[in-house]
């Protein structure tokens, strides 16, 4: 310590051309950060809690504005300073990278704000939400595509500010050989899903909240991300499917045009069941249900075999979950009606036995004819 103090003036004289301007730059950044915090502390009480477009913009732009104020402070304080060549090059390179990041960040903030503003006019919690689902799907997928492209371009622009990366990139594009092929193959899954996302946004084979059957599972399209889709299955499981699946593989979409859907209920009954009476009862049960949309309600004999008839009831509802509940309701009430009014018409197994004395016995043993007198 005693040896260092006499050398302090020499040390300061040697490094002051670097430390003094650097300290001023760091001080300017600190002042900008404190001023930013003070401004937003005032705005927090008066403006940011409101639900206006200015308040939403300021909430999202809080961090980018801090970076912008820091860059402004650096620009103001460096006008009257002299830097060594190496420090000046380092500082100008850092400012250039910060400006590139700020531009990309600002694009993402503005895009999110416009997306939220446009989606506020389209609600999914209505009965007929087809147009809302179309718009929501397009906006979300395109926003994700723009986000990916913006991030990639920002990272590429930052990397190109380094001389070594720039030389390597130019040589890579100039060669267009094995290295480019390897990079293309490695990026193929990401690019294929990104292109599939753009195709889905334009052609819309699926939309947010669509009812689909994928890989034998019935559920709703819950989220569409940049590379995959989340399907919420009826039992609350989640099926994660690549975006390219919905372009390359067949699947069922139950709400492609509208949410209205028909469902069917099957019964197997004996030939003694009065079909017309059962048709009247089935239609009465369907029409009395609040889950029926007033369009389709009928009963038909769709198949017969040697033991039973197969009856099918068709019924329609506003959406698939309601139709499922309607089918369960009709199935239970018709079974109760058959048990109460026509228990003999439930499916039965018929058999015929031939006795040694030549008598035949059909059906239940109680139906057997009387034995001849004197027979064994």
Read off the pTM.
0.59
| Mean pLDDT calculated for residue range 359-364 | 54
pLDDT of 364 above 70? no
Band (365; pLDDT cuts 50, 70, 90) = very low
pLDDT of 307 above 60? yes
pLDDT at 270: 92
| Mean pLDDT calculated for residue range 92-96 | 82
261-345 adopts what CATH topology? Alpha-Beta Plaits (3.30.70)
Determine what percent of the chain is predicted with pLDDT higher than 90. Answer: 23
| Model confidence pLDDT, tens digit, residues 125-163 | 565 666 777 778 878 888 888 888 888 889 888 888 887
Tell me which long-range contacts 329-334 makes (C-beta under 8 A, separation of at least 24). Answer: 329/285, 329/289, 329/291, 330/265, 330/282, 330/285, 330/286, 330/289, 331/265, 333/285, 334/265, 334/267, 334/278, 334/281, 334/282, 334/285
Compute how many other C-beta atoms are within 10 angstroms of the C-beta atom of residue 340. 8
pLDDT of 301 above 90? yes
| Mean pLDDT calculated for residue range 358-365 | 53
pLDDT at 128: 60
| Model confidence pLDDT, tens digit, residues 40-83 | 777 776 665 666 777 777 777 888 888 888 888 887 777 766 66
Q: In angstroms, rounded to a whole number, what is the distance separating the alpha carbons of residues 259 and 320?
A: 7
Instruction: Please spell the DSSP secondary structure of 128-185, one letter per residue.
Output: S-HHHHHHHHHHHHHHHHHHHHHHHHHHHHHHTTSHHHHHHHHHHHHH-SHHHHHHHH
Q: Is the pLDDT higher at 361 or at 235? A: 235
Strand pairing category for 252-253 and 211-214: antiparallel
pLDDT at 207: 87
Band (373; pLDDT cuts 50, 70, 90) = very low
pLDDT at 320: 83
Report the chain's mean pLDDT, rounded to a whole number: 79
| Model confidence pLDDT, tens digit, residues 215-265 | 989 999 988 887 889 999 988 999 999 888 888 899 998 888 777 888 999
| Mean pLDDT calculated for residue range 261-283 | 93
pLDDT at 330: 96
| Mean pLDDT calculated for residue range 25-32 | 83
Task: Fill in the DSSP letter of residue 368.
Answer: P
pLDDT at 340: 93
User: What is the CATH code for 205-253?
Assistant: 2.30.30.60
**Of 60-74, 169-183, 205-219, where does mean pLDDT reach its minimum?**
169-183
Identify the H or E element spanning 47.
Answer: none
Determine what percent of the chain is predicted with pLDDT higher than 70. Answer: 74
| Mean pLDDT calculated for residue range 3-16 | 52
Band (349; pLDDT cuts 50, 70, 90) = confident
């Amino acid at each position: 310590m005693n040896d260092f103090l006499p050398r302090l003036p020499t040390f300061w004289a040697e490094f002051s051309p670097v430390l003094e301007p650097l300290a001023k730059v760091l001080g300017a950044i600190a002042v900008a950060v404190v001023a930013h915090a003070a401004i937003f502390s005032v705005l927090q009480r008066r403006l940011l809690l409101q639900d206006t477009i200015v308040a939403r913009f300021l909430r999202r732009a809080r961090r980018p504005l801090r970076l912008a104020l820091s860059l402004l402070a650096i620009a103001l304080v460096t006008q009257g300073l002299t830097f060594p060549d190496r420090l000046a090059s380092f500082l100008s390179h850092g400012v250039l990278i910060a400006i590139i990041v700020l531009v990309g960040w600002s694009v993402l903030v503005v895009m999110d704000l416009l997306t939220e503003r446009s989606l506020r006019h389209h609600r999914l919690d209505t009965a007929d939400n087809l147009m809302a689902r179309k718009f929501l799907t397009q906006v979300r997928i395109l926003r994700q595509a723009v986000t990916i492209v913006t991030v990639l371009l920002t990272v590429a622009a930052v990397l190109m500010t380094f001389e070594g990366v720039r030389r390597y990139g130019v040589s890579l594009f100039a060669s267009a050989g094995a290295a480019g092929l390897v990079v293309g193959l490695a990026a193929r899954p990401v690019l294929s899903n990104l292109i599939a996302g753009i195709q889905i946004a334009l052609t819309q084979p699926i939309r947010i909240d669509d009812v689909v059957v994928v890989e034998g599972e019935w559920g709703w399209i819950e989220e569409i991300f940049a590379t995959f889709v989340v399907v919420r299955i009826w039992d609350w499981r989640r099926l994660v499917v690549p975006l390219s699946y919905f372009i390359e593989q067949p699947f069922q979409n139950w709400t492609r045009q509208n949410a209205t859907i028909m469902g069917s209920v099957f019964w197997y009954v004996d030939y003694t069941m009065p079909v017309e009476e059962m048709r009247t009862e089935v239609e009465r049960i369907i029409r009395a249900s609040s889950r029926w949309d007033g369009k389709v309600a009928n009963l038909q004999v769709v198949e017969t075999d040697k033991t039973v008839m197969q009856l099918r009831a068709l019924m329609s509802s506003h959406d698939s979950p309601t139709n499922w509940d309607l089918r369960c309701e009709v199935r239970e009430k018709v079974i109760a009606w058959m048990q109460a009014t026509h228990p003999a018409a439930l499916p039965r197994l018929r058999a015929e036995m031939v006795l040694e004395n030549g008598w035949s016995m059909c059906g239940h043993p109680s139906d057997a004819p009387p034995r001849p007198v004197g027979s064994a």
